[in-house]
Amino acid sequence: MLMFFRHRHTMGNETVAIRHGPGRDRATDARRYWQVRMDSLRLAEPLTAEDCAAQSMPDASPAKWHLAHTTWFFEQFVLRPHVPDYPVFDVDYEYLFNSYYDAVGERHPRPERGLLTRPPLARVIDYRVHVDEHLQRLLADEDVPAAVLDLGLNHEQQHQELMLTDVKHLFSRNPLEPVYRRDRPAVAGDAHERAPPEWSHCKGGLHEIGADTGSRFCFDNETPRHRVWIDPYRLAHRPVTNGEFREFVRDGGYDQPLLWLSDGWATARREGWRRPLYWSEALDSEFTLGGRRELDPDSPVCHVSYYEADAFARWAGARLPTEAEWELAAADQTVEGSLLGSMTLHPGPARERGTLAQLFGDVWEWTASPYVPYPGFVTVEGALGEYNGKFMSNQMVLRGGSCATPAGHVRASYRNFFPPQARWQFSGLRLAANP
Ligand SMILES: [Fe+2]
């Protein structure tokens, strides 16, 4: 198994024990590396240098910072430990582009990433070229620890999604409402989707969830696979739509305290929430990466917080699924849907009826589960042990990926996580209910 954290990983001059497993070869690794690195640059292509430098809020980062930080990750965790004479590109970058690795050292404050007008974007691109050249040489000359390479590539894919959601938030704050990609097709549903959602009836019982052992990469937070007891439940065939959520808004959903968790009610009042993040006040349009568009009632609602998802579910007489319920339903589904590969850059309506649809892609689905370690979870030694484990408090799990998640990055056991008040990700919901 190429799962990263099952193996002892150390930094400094010690080497990681993992070498290429069956079915891996240097040429394949080099191609994958190049593909992922080029994907990041392609996502930045529609942006100006000014776009790349700005930061719209503390939770978001400038595109330039994403491009540099993902490069720093390869420099810090692959090149420095494994290339004895590796020439560090710029010693200051460890401070500027370390995200949260306390074991590595001090770092620039996250809310001030937008102040980094220097280094200029061109210098960050030079940094990428420098690291890419040394990484390609390493891949050609000797086996790179597969687990660390996989982690670096999956890490960069996570930042690709963040780059898009951060740019969307940045552009939404500009009165000109800039368009990221003008050529994105507008997707609209048809009237049949306005029928109430159908449900899958799940028997429940004793099941296993978590990443399976095998040849595929997974993050440490998906392990270990373990048994869970699941009572019988129902799961909606599709995510909640804009049309359904608009009914909640028009019914005064944001004004009914009994629908809300205490923290959610306080947050909604404090922040002045009256509708999903990018909706117009008239509830008839929304800001997208393709510009402002008419609100499609059949497409999944997105950019709602956990608190709003939870209040909607209560209003609808249902609830959010637990992550175990979601994974049990998704375990035998093919991982396909509107992911970043399709480049719609916005969720679209369900195409199938009478079956579970859109579990993967379109919108991340909030679950009722707090982000906590699975039974038996162990973090790895060293700085990379900080990757996931230290965030296991005060956040909720989301499942399934979104229209901004790179194809091939997500799977049934994948656990995304955000604080319950987060709204700027492509986050929606699917209803669950007791039988
Ligand atoms: Fe990161």
**Which of 45-49, 192-196, 405-409 shows the lowest mean pLDDT across its residues?**
192-196
What number of residues does the chain have? 435
63-83 residues labelled b (16+ CB within 10 A) or e (exposed):
bbbbbbbbbbbbbbbbbbbbb
393 CA → ligand 1 middle, Å: 18
Structure tokens, 270: 């404090």
Summarised one tens digit per residue, pLDDT across range 261-302 is 999 999 999 999 999 999 999 999 999 999 999 999 999 999
Question: Measured on CA atoms in the order 354, 356, 361, 365, is the torsion positive or negative?
Answer: positive
Model confidence at 96, pLDDT cuts 50, 70, 90, reads very high
Q: Which pLDDT value is given to residue 186?
A: 66
Q: What tokens does 3 get?
A: 């799962």
**Cα-to-centroid distance, 159 and ligand 1 (Å):** 7
Interval between CA 416 and ligand 1 midpoint (Å): 14
CA of 160 to the centre of ligand 1 (A): 10
**CA–CA distance, 221 with 371 (Å, rounded to integer):** 9
pLDDT given at position 343: 85
Phi and psi at residue 32, to the nearest 5° = -60, -45
- Residue 15 has a pLDDT of 27
Structure confidence at residue 434 (pLDDT): 96
Q: What is the pLDDT of residue 213?
A: 67
Per-residue pLDDT, 183: 75
As a whole number of angstroms, the distance between CA 428 and CA 175 comes to 26
Phi, psi of 133 (to 5 degrees): -65, -45
Helices (H) and strands (E) in the chain — how many of each? 11, 11
Side-chain half-sphere of 100: how many Cα atoms within 13 Å?
Answer: 9
Question: How far apart are the CA of 73 and the centre of ligand 1, in A?
Answer: 7
Sign of CA dihedral 352, 355, 360, 362: positive
Distance 100 CA to ligand 1 centre (A): 8
pTM for the model stands at: 0.93
Q: Which two tokens stand for residue 280?
A: 């117009």
pLDDT surpassing 60 at residue 194: yes
pLDDT greater than 90 at residue 188: no
The residues placing their C-beta within 5 Å of ligand 1, an ion, are 99
* Cα of 166 from ligand 1 centre, angstroms: 14
* Averaged pLDDT score across all residues of the chain: 91
CA 184 to centroid of ligand 1, rounded, Å: 28
Tokens of 184: 């994105």
The predicted pLDDT at position 192 comes to 53
The confidence score (pLDDT) of residue 21 equals: 46
Q: Does the pLDDT of residue 11 top 50, yes or no? A: no
Lowest pLDDT segment from 22-26, 188-192, 316-320, 371-375: 188-192
Nearest CA among 304, 198, 319 for reference residue 249:
304
How far, in Å, is the centroid of ligand 1 from the Cα of 107?
13
CA of 72 to the centre of ligand 1 (A): 9
Secondary structure (DSSP) of 17-40? S----TT--HHHHHHHHHHHHHHH
pLDDT per position as a tens digit, 212-257? 867 789 999 999 999 999 999 999 999 999 999 999 999 999 999 9
Q: How far is the CA of 190 from the centre of ligand 1 (A)?
A: 39
Range 302-311 average pLDDT:
98
3-state DSSP call for residue 256?
coil
Edge-to-edge strands, sheet with 364-370: 416-418, 396-399, 364-370, 427-428
Distance (angstroms) between ligand 1 centre and the Cα of 219 equals 13
- d(CA 158, ligand 1 centre) in Å: 8
C-alpha angle 401-403-408 in degrees, rounded to nearest 5? 55
Per-residue confidence band for 111, with pLDDT thresholds at 50, 70 and 90: very high
CA of 383 to the centre of ligand 1 (A): 13
Query: With contact defined as beta carbons under 8 Å apart, do 223 and 6 qualify?
Result: yes
CA distance 173 to 169: 7
Band the pLDDT of 369: cuts 50, 70, 90: very high
Q: Give the rounded percent of residues in the chain with a pLDDT score beyond 70.
A: 92
Among 313, 426, 306, 314, smallest CA distance to 362 is for 426
- C-alpha of residue 343 to centroid of ligand 1, in Å: 23
Q: Lowest-confidence range among 3-12, 23-32, 196-205?
A: 3-12
Using 50, 70 and 90 to split pLDDT, how confident is the model at 25? confident
Beta-bridge mates of residue 241:
300
- Contact present, 86 and 76 (Cβ < 8 Å): no
For position 13, what pLDDT does the model report? 28
pLDDT in tens, 122-153: 999 999 999 999 999 999 887 778 888 999 99
Q: What is the dihedral of CA 346, 347, 351, 352, to 10 degrees?
A: 150
Residue 251 alpha carbon to ligand 1 centre in Å = 40
Span from the CA of 215 to the centroid of ligand 1 (angstroms)? 24
Q: Quickly count: other Cβ atoms within 10 Å of residue 318's Cβ.
A: 20
Question: Distance from the CA of 99 to the center of ligand 1, in angstroms?
Answer: 6
Provide the β-strand partners of residue 416. Answer: 398
The tens digit of pLDDT for each residue in 52-83 reads: 999 999 999 999 999 999 999 999 999 999 99
321: helix, coil or strand? coil
Closest CA to 414 of 404, 402, 401: 401
